Amino acid sequence: MSSNTPHPEYLGAGGPSYRSDSDAPEGSRRRWPVLGATAAGVAAALGLGGWGAYALLSGGGLQPADALPASAVAYVSLDLDPSAGQKIEAFKILKKFPGIDEELDISSTDDLRRMIFDKVQDEGSCTGLDYDADINPWIGERVALAAVPDDQAGIDAPVLALQVSDEEAAAEGIRALARCADAGDYGYAFHAGYVLITDTDARAEALVADAAQGSLADSAAFQEWTGKVGDPGIVTMYAGPDAPDFLADIESGMSDDWFGYATGDPEAALELRDEQSEASEKLRDAYKDFAGMAGVVRFDDGAVEAEFAMQGLPTGLNAVTGLTGPNVTELPASTGAAFSVALAEGWLTGYLESMAEVFSSGESVDEMLADAERDTGLELPEDIETLFGDGVSVAFDSDVDFEAIFDEGDFTKLPVGLRVSGNPDEILPVVDKVRAAIGPDGDVVVAEPGDGVVAFGANPDYTKLLSGDGTLGSDETFQRAVPEADKASAVLYVNFDAGGWIEEAADAVEAMESGFAGEEAAEDDAAATSLRENVAPLDALGLSAWMDGDVQRGVFRLTTD
């Protein structure tokens, strides 16, 4: 980012001009006031509720981060004017789904904004405004919502940064939106091609002045974390190192402002405030090592992809996702869906302690485990940690006949099971203890040992298959959806094409809906695009998480045929 940050731009001649319908005192209590329909209406008109493909293939220019101050601790932006490659990918992907193509029927950003604004008016909001006259002349294609602390003023109001092309028209449009929707306190100011909307004019002016001294885009932390998630996309998310403290302060502020009003009982209000303050401190302590995070949503090679990077999550979460395995790639090649997670030594104790730091249950971890031991006869947490070994995968096979299973009512034929990575000689004795605790019904579940694994399931044939060495990792569909499977500590995978199960499920849903809707509704539905046609383009869904040094990474991918 350039260090030549644009100077603040003000509306009108002769100096700064900030006009709003109200201006709260600068020393007001710490709160998140409602920005009213000013921000909501603008965001809706811009298209936060959807995204489409566009004919114009230009991109570039200043982002909302260039107009916000470097002190922002959290930020999420939407870019309706990304790179040409992103637009082309979006167009190609969305055109594959008949329902989306028919519903949107758009070819430009203006079409999308107009469509969203029309939907807002259809719901009865701002019916007196005209899109062409009141919105289109000034609204841009980028928007962001940011959290910017202001300890001096004691205000933590959210800030909306909206790209504008005409400041004078934007000022008129914002005031019109606020009037028609009877908005509460708001204020605004212009900077770097954007309008910053918050709760007061004074606050907006201060934000502009701060951004002129140093923007969020120039912040070293922002650059570091957004740089970890690769190429930009249509959505960018960021949380700085101070974000947990900011959230804890917000919670404390809400307890001060709202609990007394909500209860009408001063003593009860004080008690609730103390409980909330304790919870805020637990949150602050749990995230004391948080160093930051970023995420981006993009269109890439026939897929919608979300990539994340973060550091310093609570220790209990690290214990669950802090190492590689189990090897999800060794599941059967016919796997239709799977969830896999690695488990470090002491994971259960670490997780329970981590959650206890955030949520006050009134009972210690040791007390909870002691109660469970008395009820089950197990040694806790040792037996549970042994039972789940180094990691566990839940798998569902694509070779399933739903109709036969439901007709016969025999759910033991369902090809679903658990595959535990660990020593069978250590795991099987715990299985016997669990069966004894369950009673006669415990024998319903089959335990099948394999080479360094134990598979569990109600279907003996599938359980046997699950205990062997499968070749899912060689499947091209899996590789596209889960590109980091070899080093992932957690994986979620769904193959929509395997075995035709997704089409069968779609047909079943449509048949059920037709039965409930009646004959007339069914005839109307027959003319519309079928659910089967709309799920047909889906290929696979993948979610993987892994450690990269001290950085926790994750990728979500929805691929299409």
Q: In percent, how much of the chain has pLDDT > 70?
A: 73
Cβ 446 vs Cβ 399: under 8 Å: no
pLDDT at residue number 70:
96
Average pLDDT over residues 451-478: 94
What pLDDT score does 49 carry?
37
Residue 502 — very low, low, confident or very high, per pLDDT cuts 50/70/90? confident
The radius of gyration of the chain from alpha carbons, rounded to an integer in Å, stands at 27
483: pLDDT confidence band, cut at 50, 70 and 90? confident
Asked whether the beta carbons of 402 and 499 are under 8 A apart, the reply is no
pLDDT band of 183, cuts 50, 70, 90: confident
Whether residue 37 has pLDDT greater than 50: no
How far apart are the C-alpha atoms of 174 and 561, rounded to whole Å? 43
Least confident of 43-47, 115-119, 195-199, 557-561: 43-47
Tens digit of pLDDT for each residue in 340-397?
988 888 888 777 776 666 555 556 777 878 888 888 888 888 999 999 998 999 999 9
Q: What is the pLDDT of residue 362?
A: 57
pLDDT tens for residues 125-162?
888 899 999 999 999 989 999 999 886 655 567 999 99
pLDDT in tens, 235-252: 999 999 998 888 877 766
Q: Where are the alpha helices (DSSP H) in 409-451?
A: 424-438
Query: 290 or 96: whose pLDDT is higher?
Result: 290
pLDDT surpasses 70 at 441: yes
Burial tier of 525 (Cβ tally within 10 Å: 0-12, 13-18, 19+):
middle
Q: What is the largest CA-CA distance in the chain?
A: 86
Q: What pLDDT, on the 0 to 100 scale, is given for residue 536? A: 83
- Residue 388 gets which letter from DSSP? T
The confidence band for 398, taking pLDDT boundaries of 50, 70 and 90, is: confident
Q: Residue 332's closest CA among 459, 213, 171?
A: 459
Distance between CA atoms of 168 and 190, rounded to whole angstroms? Answer: 10
Q: Among candidates 222, 198, 206, which has minimal Cα distance to 66?
A: 222
Report pLDDT for 416.
Answer: 92
Q: Which two tokens stand for residue 148?
A: 């910017």
Among 451, 530, 540, CA closest to 494: 540
Least confident of 221-225, 519-523, 529-533, 548-552: 519-523
Distance separating alpha carbons of residues 444 and 327, to the nearest angstrom: 27
For 524, phi then psi, to 5°, come to -65, -40
**Residue of 195, 173, 199 lying closest to 186 (CA atoms):** 199
Rounded to an integer, the average pLDDT of 449-463 is 94
Phi, psi values for residue 230, rounded to 5°: 75, -155
Q: What is the pLDDT of residue 280?
A: 74
